[in-house]
């Protein structure tokens, strides 16, 4: 507790007035417990009798009450004649705050209406019974008991050294496990020394932009694209350019036609976000050749490639890189759970030192005990067993989703990106983009959460597209949610037909 004594009169009176200001100023809430007189005396460097006298006067005047058990509390209701409000509180309450000048970085974030809209749409939306929010794994499928036991066991074995600041690049056991896993599962060619443990893919993107981009540098994004990459680049003052995506990912002919030097290109080649397109080998090699020719760095966001339900997995773009032009990013938010807040960034050897330094500047290190527990979780085989189970269960959810779409939406829609990942893209054939907000609102009234694809384009598409994440729902919830969405779409189509006939 911070008490400012006014240095006027007797010492107990100074303590009394300081406590009264705290109570009437709202810093000490009704019913809150005060510290003991012994603690207060020690804190202020006064005698305990002085503290006792101040408390007794406040109790006598109705500011404080002595609890039935040990302790003194702020009165739940102050007497009506207590109208004193400290002058500093009055002035603060009614003063008009002066404007605070934001940095260019913050101003560019504040001026972006799409960012604010996405926050409202995703983070602030009320809970819905059938919420097809994208990016969520199945929390029910995760082996919570096994993870809890691993965490507890790791905590019991924690050494004194584990309590110290950790290495900015992450603990060695986790980086070693990751290097082995990535070589085995994604053909990523890296050593543990090239891996940085980060707080999810968002920090990986931020690191890449901070290390490589100055104001005015050109950054290429897919169109459509993962919006946080656009937001971070824009906040840094980058000059953004967009390259359209087809059913094989980014159009490399359009990229090659770009004039001037590009410093950084963001791509999602294994499951393009949000269309789900898979970039074939030939186009991947063409992208790497472009990077070598122009000196650009390619950021490969491999956010959910662990989930593939048809066809053979395609090795990571980084596995084909022989010139150190690719930054490879992955996350545990999709394979375990978002609240873990751990991801990883594989950095070319020539950039390891600077990325480590910038990471150290931003947050020193990710939580040590969690990293060590995750390393043990992977070493004991729990992580890959969980992935195998999740793939099988997600495949069943996907089958239910596609069957329900065919039954209730039929010829009104086209499905994209169903071969892998945690979401699909549902294109509405007869609903123009201008009706997108209306469709989302009507679906919400029916208890269904759907998410328009428009914000992920540099310019909104002509027709409405909906991102549907399905892996966090049960099969029954998926079927019922799509049934309700089908009713909403049918109702909208009927109303549009009625208006066109008038």
| pLDDT value of residue 81 | 55
Ordered DSSP codes for 49-71: HHHHHHHHHHHHTTSEEE-SSS-
Percent helix, strand and coil across the chain, each rounded to 5?
50, 15, 35
Asked if residue 215 lies in contact with residue 204, where contact means CB atoms within 8 angstroms, the answer is no
The conformation of residue 32, written as its DSSP 8-state character, comes to: P
Where do the structural domains in the chain lie, given as residue ranges?
Answer: 11-94, 114-138+386-501, 144-381
Ordered DSSP codes for 151-216: HHHHHHT--SGGGSPPPTT--HHHHHHHHHHHHHHH-----GGGEEEESSHHHHHHHHHHHH--TT
Asked if residue 173 lies in contact with residue 313, where contact means CB atoms within 8 angstroms, the answer is no
Distance CA 492, CA 487 (A): 9
- CATH class label, 11-94: mainly alpha
| pLDDT value of residue 193 | 98
| pLDDT value of residue 87 | 46
The conformation of residue 473, written as its DSSP 8-state character, comes to: S
Distance CA 118, CA 342 (A): 22
In CATH terms, the fold of domain 144-381 is 3.40.640
Mark the ranges of the chain whose per-residue pLDDT is less than 70. 1, 67-69, 79-97, 113-124, 495-502
Asked if residue 313 lies in contact with residue 458, where contact means CB atoms within 8 angstroms, the answer is no
CA distances, 285 to each of 39, 291, 323 (Å) = 70, 10, 12
Asked if residue 326 lies in contact with residue 285, where contact means CB atoms within 8 angstroms, the answer is no
| pLDDT value of residue 12 | 87
> 3-state class of 411 per DSSP?
helix
**Tokens describing residue 161:** 């050294």
Asked if residue 350 lies in contact with residue 374, where contact means CB atoms within 8 angstroms, the answer is no
Distance CA 325, CA 350 (A): 10
| pLDDT value of residue 5 | 87
Give the phi and the psi of residue 233 in degrees, each rounded to 5.
-65, -45
In CATH terms, the fold of domain 114-138+386-501 is 3.90.1150
Whole-model pTM over 0.75: yes
| pLDDT value of residue 231 | 92
State CA 300 to chain mean position distance.
18
Contacts with 316 (C-beta within 8 Å, 6 or more apart), sequence order = 182, 186, 187, 188, 270, 300, 302, 305, 328
| pLDDT value of residue 95 | 53
């Amino acid at each position: 507790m911070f008490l400012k004594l006014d240095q006027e009169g007797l010492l107990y009176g100074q303590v009394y007035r300081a406590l009264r200001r705290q109570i009437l100023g709202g810093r000490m809430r009704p019913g809150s417990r005060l510290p003991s007189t012994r603690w207060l005396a020690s804190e202020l460097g006064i005698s305990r009798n002085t503290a006792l006298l101040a408390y007794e006067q406040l109790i006598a005047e109705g500011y404080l009450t002595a609890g039935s058990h040990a302790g003194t509390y702020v009165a739940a209701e102050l007497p009506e004649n207590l109208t004193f409000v400290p002058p500093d509180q009055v002035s603060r309450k009614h003063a008009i705050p002066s404007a605070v000048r934001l940095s260019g970085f913050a101003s560019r974030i504040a001026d972006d209406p799409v960012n604010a809209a996405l926050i409202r749409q995703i983070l602030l939306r009320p809970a819905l019974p059938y919420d097809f929010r994208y990016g969520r794994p199945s929390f029910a499928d995760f082996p919570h008991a096994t993870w809890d036991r691993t965490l507890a066991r790791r905590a019991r074995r924690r050494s004194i050294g584990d309590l110290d600041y950790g290495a900015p690049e992450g603990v060695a056991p986790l980086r070693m496990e990751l290097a082995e896993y990535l070589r085995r599962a994604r053909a990523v060619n890296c050593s543990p020394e090239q891996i940085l443990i980060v707080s999810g893919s968002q920090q990986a993107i931020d690191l890449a932009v901070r290390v490589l981009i100055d104001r005015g540098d050109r950054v290429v994004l897919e169109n459509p694209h993962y919006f946080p990459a656009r937001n971070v680049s824009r906040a840094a003052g980058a000059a953004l350019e967009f390259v359209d995506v087809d059913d094989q990912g980014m159009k490399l002919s359009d990229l090659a036609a770009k004039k001037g030097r590009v410093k950084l290109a963001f791509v999602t080649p294994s499951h393009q976000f949000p269309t789900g397109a898979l970039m074939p080998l030939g186009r991947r090699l063409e992208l790497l050749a472009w990077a070598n020719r122009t000196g650009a760095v390619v950021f490969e966001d491999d956010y959910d490639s662990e989930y593939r339900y048809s066809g053979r997995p395609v090795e990571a773009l980084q596995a084909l890189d022989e010139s150190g032009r690719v930054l490879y990013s992955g996350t545990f938010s999709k394979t375990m759970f978002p609240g873990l807040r751990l991801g990883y960034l594989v950095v070319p050897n020539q950039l390891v030192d600077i990325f480590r330094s910038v990471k150290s500047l931003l947050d020193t290190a990710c939580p040590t005990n969690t990293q060590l527990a995750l390393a043990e979780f992977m070493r004991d085989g729990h992580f890959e067993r969980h992935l195998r189970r999740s793939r099988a269960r997600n495949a069943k959810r996907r089958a239910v989703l596609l069957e329900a779409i065919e039954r209730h939406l039929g010829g009104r829609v086209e499905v994209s990106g169903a071969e892998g990942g945690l979401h699909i893209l549902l294109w509405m054939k007869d609903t123009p983009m201008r009706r997108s907000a209306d469709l989302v609102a009507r679906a919400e009234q029916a208890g269904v959460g759907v998410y328009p694809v428009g914000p992920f384009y540099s310019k909104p598409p002509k027709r409405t597209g909906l991102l549907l994440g399905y892996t966090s729902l049960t099969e029954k919830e998926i079927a019922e949610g799509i049934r309700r969405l089908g009713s909403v779409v049918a109702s909208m189509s009927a109303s549009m037909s009625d208006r066109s006939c008038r």
